[in-house]
């Protein structure tokens, strides 16, 4: 199936089958929906002067971005091809108000960010189905505060949208990568986020000799192993810009992986569908665990109601049969009890009045007791140990629950006794069917 058609198909299925369930459980699907709306995105981040803009200029073949040795650029620049009939530059204030673009969510970061966001529309065929985002370079921790918006959080938001994140650094500042990585990593899907990031050490031509390069590389690996908590180091592309690098020195001495890096970037659009599916997968699994917990809670609620029901019904039947006997022995009323009427074979409607009142009153009291004591106690007990509502047998499920438990608790806090009759199990079934049938089918289509 053609990728565009498949994407439209997925989008349609999500909005029909899944979106209503997200709103039912008060979960936000907007990031997914806005992500599906637009083109594949490559995000270039890293410390200042690491060569981000130089790399972008090289890809496009013109000096669209300013470059320089000091911190040069303090804006997020989205570069893409929107068509020659569209303006060459679109300011952030327009971008954050355009519902057809995925930038509406940046409104909440305020005017300071908006004035540092811009879209550049270029006439370049490859960018018709792709956008590259150049970002302000990481500064050191003290200068970071001056931006007027939460830079790390914004970086995380951009990372969430991106199909490929190129994390660049140069040999002089190999140690500064840690914070950038931390800011983006926890915004990405648990299972596959790592695949979306590629690490690039640029400007290696500036290393005077091999030991210089090895030292920088070592610093980097050390920082990376601390960040990822893993001993294996992901591939680090060692590159320099052939346009500005000291090519005389480097040609034979240094490795050059610029070509592979470029190919990775060019191939980013093909990752888009896979990422959309991964994001859906992650968010629907989050929805599923919430729904599972709520379903379990209502099941417990119904079981408790049945227990109350059994006791109340027993008491009600007892009082229906013998309540008037007790009343007769105390007040001599009614003059003839139901039992004696049955014995004498002369039963009338009048004999049923008091027993029926007893029965109805007992049942009503039973329901009131459930609503005011039984259910409230169950709710309190459940909320005190909400993790028991779901099975947490795998690491994945435990992480999922850590992320979603607060949402679940806030849903349960709002429930009242009547909600135990809500058909949550039906929603859960729909979610499971979507994960097991629809989503699997899409993954298969993508692979074929």
Judged by beta carbon distances under 5 to 8 A according to partner kind, the member of Mg ion, ligand GTP, none in contact with residue 299 is none
Judged by beta carbon distances under 5 to 8 A according to partner kind, the member of Mg ion, ligand GTP, none in contact with residue 340 is none
Give the nearer residue to ligand GTP in terms of CB position, either 54 or 295: 54
Positive/negative CA dihedral, 85, 89, 93, 97: positive
Residue with tokens 């830079």: 151
In angstroms, give the least distance from the CB of 102 to ligand GTP.
23
d(CA 9, CA 129): 18
Give the nearer residue to ligand GTP in terms of CB position, either 45 or 293: 45
Cα torsion at 288, 292, 295, 301 (round to 10°)?
-150
Nearest residue to ligand GTP, using CB? Answer: 137
Judged by beta carbon distances under 5 to 8 A according to partner kind, the member of Mg ion, ligand GTP, none in contact with residue 205 is ligand GTP
Give the nearer residue to ligand GTP in terms of CB position, either 143 or 225: 143
Phi-psi region of 235 (alpha: psi -120 to 50; beta: other; left: phi over 0): beta
Nearest to 29 by CA among 42, 20, 40, 41: 20
Give the nearer residue to ligand GTP in terms of CB position, either 50 or 408: 50
In angstroms, give the least distance from the CB of 68 to ligand GTP.
5
d(CA 67, CA 243): 12
Judged by beta carbon distances under 5 to 8 A according to partner kind, the member of Mg ion, ligand GTP, none in contact with residue 269 is none
Give the nearer residue to Mg ion in terms of CB position, either 183 or 354: 183
* CB within 8 Å of 257: residues ≥ 6 apart: 237, 238, 239
**Under a CB-based contact definition with an 8 Å cutoff, are residues 106 and 154 in contact?**
yes
Judged by beta carbon distances under 5 to 8 A according to partner kind, the member of Mg ion, ligand GTP, none in contact with residue 240 is ligand GTP
The neighbouring-strand residues paired with 181 are none
Give the nearer residue to ligand GTP in terms of CB position, either 205 or 278: 205
In angstroms, give the least distance from the CB of 433 to ligand GTP.
47
d(CA 254, CA 247): 10
Q: Which residues bind Mg ion (CB under 5 A)?
A: 52-53, 72-73
Give the nearer residue to ligand GTP in terms of CB position, either 29 or 200: 200
In angstroms, give the least distance from the CB of 133 to ligand GTP.
12
* CB within 8 Å of 233: residues ≥ 6 apart: 221, 224, 225
Q: Which two tokens stand for residue 83?
A: 């068509």
In angstroms, give the least distance from the CB of 255 to Mg ion.
24
In angstroms, give the least distance from the CB of 81 to Mg ion.
20
Nearest residue to Mg ion, using CB? Answer: 53
d(CA 319, CA 302): 25
In angstroms, give the least distance from the CB of 52 to Mg ion.
5
In angstroms, give the least distance from the CB of 242 to ligand GTP.
8
Q: Which residues bind ligand GTP (CB under 6 A)?
A: 48-54, 67-69, 71-73, 136-137, 202-203, 205-206, 240-241, 244-246
Judged by beta carbon distances under 5 to 8 A according to partner kind, the member of ligand GTP, Mg ion, none in contact with residue 192 is none
Residue with tokens 């050191």: 140
Judged by beta carbon distances under 5 to 8 A according to partner kind, the member of ligand GTP, Mg ion, none in contact with residue 241 is ligand GTP
Edge-to-edge order in the sheet of strand 236-238:
89-91, 117-121, 76-80, 131-134, 41-46, 164-169, 197-201, 236-238
Judged by beta carbon distances under 5 to 8 A according to partner kind, the member of ligand GTP, Mg ion, none in contact with residue 50 is ligand GTP
Give the nearer residue to Mg ion in terms of CB position, either 53 or 80: 53
Residue with tokens 């289509």: 445
In angstroms, give the least distance from the CB of 275 to ligand GTP.
25
In angstroms, give the least distance from the CB of 72 to Mg ion.
5
Give the nearer residue to Mg ion in terms of CB position, either 262 or 352: 262
Nearest to 327 by CA among 347, 357, 348, 349: 357
Give the nearer residue to Mg ion in terms of CB position, either 73 or 163: 73
Judged by beta carbon distances under 5 to 8 A according to partner kind, the member of Mg ion, ligand GTP, none in contact with residue 76 is none
* CB within 8 Å of 268: residues ≥ 6 apart: 40, 41, 42, 130, 163, 164
Judged by beta carbon distances under 5 to 8 A according to partner kind, the member of ligand GTP, Mg ion, none in contact with residue 157 is none
Prior bond of 365 cis (ω within 30°): no
d(CA 180, CA 156): 9
């Amino acid at each position: 199936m053609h990728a565009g058609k498949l994407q439209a198909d997925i989008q349609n299925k999500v909005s029909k089958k899944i979106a209503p369930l997200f709103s039912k459980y008060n979960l936000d699907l907007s990031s997914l929906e806005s992500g599906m709306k637009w083109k594949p995105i490559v995000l270039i981040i890293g410390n200042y002067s690491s060569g981000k803009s130089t790399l972008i200029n090289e890809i496009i073949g013109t000096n669209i971005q300013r470059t320089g040795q000091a911190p040069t650029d303090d804006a997020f620049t989205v570069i893409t091809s929107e068509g020659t009939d569209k303006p060459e530059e679109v300011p952030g204030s327009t971008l954050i108000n355009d519902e057809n673009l995925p930038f509406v969510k940046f409104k909440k970061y305020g005017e300071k960010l908006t004035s540092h966001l811009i879209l550049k529309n270029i006439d370049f065929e490859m960018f018709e189905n792709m956008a590259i985002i150049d970002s302000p370079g990481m500064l050191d921790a003290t200068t970071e505060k001056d931006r007027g918006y939460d830079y790390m959080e914004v970086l995380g938001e951009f990372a969430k949208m991106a199909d490929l994140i190129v994390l660049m650094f140069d040999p002089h500042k190999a140690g500064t990568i840690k914070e950038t990585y931390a800011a983006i990593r926890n915004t990405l899907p648990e299972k596959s986020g790592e695949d979306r990031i590629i690490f690039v050490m640029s400007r290696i031509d500036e290393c005077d000799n091999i030991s210089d390069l090895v030292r920088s590389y070592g610093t980097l690996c050390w920082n990376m192993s601390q960040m990822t908590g893993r001993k294996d180091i992901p591939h680090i592309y060692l590159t320099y810009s052939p346009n500005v690098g000291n090519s005389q020195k480097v040609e034979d001495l240094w490795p050059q992986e610029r070509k592979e890096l470029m190919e990775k970037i060019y191939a980013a659009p093909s990752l888009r569908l896979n990422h959309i599916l991964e994001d859906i997968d992650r968010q629907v699994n989050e929805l599923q665990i919430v729904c599972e917990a709520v379903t379990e809670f209502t099941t417990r609620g119904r079981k408790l109601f049945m227990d109350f029901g059994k006791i109340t019904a027993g008491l009600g039947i007892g009082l229906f049969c013998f309540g008037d006997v007790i009343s007769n022995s105390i007040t001599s009323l009614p003059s003839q009890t139901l039992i004696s009427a049955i014995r004498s074979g002369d039963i009338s409607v009048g004999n049923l009045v008091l027993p029926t009142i007893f029965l109805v009153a007992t049942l009503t009291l039973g329901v009131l007791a459930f609503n005011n004591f039984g259910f409230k106690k169950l709710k309190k007990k459940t909320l005190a140990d909400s993790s028991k509502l779901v099975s947490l047998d795998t690491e994945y499920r435990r992480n999922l629950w850590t992320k979603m438990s607060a949402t679940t608790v806030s849903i349960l806090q709002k429930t009242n006794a009547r909600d135990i009759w809500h058909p949550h199990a039906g929603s859960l079934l729909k979610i499971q069917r979507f994960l097991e049938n629809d989503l699997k089918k899409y993954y298969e289509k993508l692979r074929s």
